[in-house]
Structure 1
Amino acid sequence: MIILWSTMRLEHITIDNFRGLSHVDMSFSRFGCLIGENNAGKSSVFQALNMFLRSSSALDTDFLNPAQPIRIELTFAGISSADLQRLEESHRSRIEPVVTDGRLTLARTYKGAGGKGTMWVVREVPSDPRFHKGVLEEVLKPKISTEELEANVRHTYPEIFAELSGKISRAAVRREWSECVATLGRDEYTTGDDPLMTGLDRSVAPLLPEPIYIPAVKELNDDLKTGSTATFGRLLSILFEDIEHQLPQLEGTGSTDSNRTRDTASSADFRSPPPSPSAHSTSTRPRSIATPGSAYLPKRP
């Protein structure tokens, strides 16, 4: 069996209008550590990461300004073929074109409490918003009359309306729209949000790191317990999963060390690793640890 280790890491994060954070823009190295005074917003950064990666819903209390949306943007670097293999083949072919030089930037926007937000891929998009996919879909939205469709096209795309002769159809408008976009020059593009293809927001989840959010220590005696739900036990479990594939070799080095390893694994209530997606190769999903005042760490081999 071949173990395919992930080299993917979080490189940059931008947060707007989340809890006490009006605007945060920061880059990360391979080891990131947030240091600051109490109530400076360190925990809010980790909670924003957790909400993004777990596709959690926003609460009323998450909005600093209820009249404005929450926006969380993450840039991942070091994305390799091993990372992309965690996606189903049909989804992999659709996400590969938006991964540039091993980098992928995704954003989630939340416009109200109770919703899981809308995911976007951040990349080069036309400067003219009329040539954004979302605007086109709004013009061609279903369940409108032919007259409404023609009025929408005439108002938003007068050049396309003039080009088409006879009855306007959605297929014809899409074709002309695509031809217009194809003729745009490089100076007519800017960096912006582009909607993911339908269903791809859920399908991309296996590519993203698995967050493990550990709250601040309150009861030291409880957090030092080694059960799988306790802070210390969860940390031991993560470390154990990193070396578990090496245990068969280590057990042959000495009976004393072997017994100690088995006893430790038993008392810590360790979890089994996820099943391999292939009989011949395993791609390890990166795991991220977020604790208030400490680092956000991708799982390393």
Structure 2
Amino acid sequence: MHSLSKIHIKNFRSCKQVILPLGDFTPLVGQNNAGKSTILDAIRLVLAPKAFAKTDANDPNEPIIISACVSGITEELIAQIPEARHQAAISPYCINGDLWIRISASGSTRPSTEVWENGDLDDQGVPTSWRSYPTGLPQAISALLPEALHIRAMDDVQ
């Protein structure tokens, strides 16, 4: 089964530098203003890229970088993507069953979307080499990972 297995967030709102491994079920628990919603927003942004707000940078002089790893991608799974051209777009970037994607921007510039280009990882397990999304990759990603389900907390369950 494929899933989002890791997210790396740098300079996004309250997350100065966060590397969070994700499992089949990863609850985010904490006090108000601890960054739970920021992590969920980062996941949404990296899976369906759009422009950052001017206030999204923790430090406006540094770029915002959000990277995510989708693990468990097999040839059989890729074959289930409806369009052959989207299958071809994603296949070269699935390295040992992992696909790393990234969105980044400096200031108010339009964000760039990138994909892991080779097997090089830093000491924290995050890719060091990236290239721009090839045509068809966003459609392949959305076919593999439909929009995330977000269950909001309930104030008074009883």
Shift of 1:103: 1.0
Counterpart in the other structure of 2:94: 99
Runs of 4+ in 1 over 6 A off after TM superposition: none
Counterpart in the other structure of 1:227: none
**Residues 125, 194 of structure 1: 8 Å contact kept:** no
Q: Considering only aligned residues, what root-mean-square deviation do their CA atoms show, in Å? A: 2.6
Bigger Cα displacement from structure 2, 28-37 vs 117-126: 117-126
Counterpart in the other structure of 1:193: 130
- SS of 2:41's equivalent in the other structure is helix
- SS of 1:97's equivalent in the other structure is helix
Shift of 1:38: 2.5
What TM-score do you get using the length of structure 1 for normalisation?
0.44
Q: Distance in 1 between matches of 2:109 and 2:143?
A: 23
- SS of 1:191's equivalent in the other structure is coil
Counterpart in the other structure of 1:39: 33
What aligned pairs does 1:1-301 form with structure 2 within 5 A after superposition?
7-84=1-78, 85-113=80-108, 115=110, 117-124=111-118, 191-197=128-134, 199-204=135-140, 205-217=142-154
- SS of 2:91's equivalent in the other structure is helix
- Aligned residue identity for 1:9: S
Q: Distance in 1 between matches of 2:144 and 2:3?
A: 11
- Aligned residue identity for 1:94: A
Shift of 1:10: 1.0
| Runs of 5+ consecutive residues of structure 2 not aligned to the other structure | 121-126
Q: Distance in 1 between matches of 2:137 and 2:58?
A: 25
Greater gyration radius? 1
**Residues 87, 203 of structure 1: 8 Å contact kept:** no
Deviation per CA, 1:177-198: give whole Å up to 9, x if none: xxxxxxxxxxxxx83212222x
- Residues 92 and 30 of structure 1: CA distance in aligned 2, closer, same or farther (over 3 Å): same
Shift of 1:8: 1.0
The structure in which a higher percent of residues are helix is 1
Q: Distance in 2 between matches of 1:123 and 1:35?
A: 34
Q: Distance in 2 between matches of 1:53 and 1:22?
A: 20
**Residues 85, 136 of structure 2: 8 Å contact kept:** no
**Count of matched residue pairs:** 149
What TM-score do you get using the length of structure 2 for normalisation?
0.79
Sequence identity of aligned pairs in percent? 28
Q: Distance in 2 between matches of 1:63 and 1:13?
A: 17
Q: Distance in 2 between matches of 1:52 and 1:211?
A: 11
Shift of 1:87: 4.8
- SS of 2:27's equivalent in the other structure is coil
- Aligned residue identity for 2:103: R
**Residues 119, 201 of structure 1: 8 Å contact kept:** no
- Residues 36 and 52 of structure 1: CA distance in aligned 2, closer, same or farther (over 3 Å): same
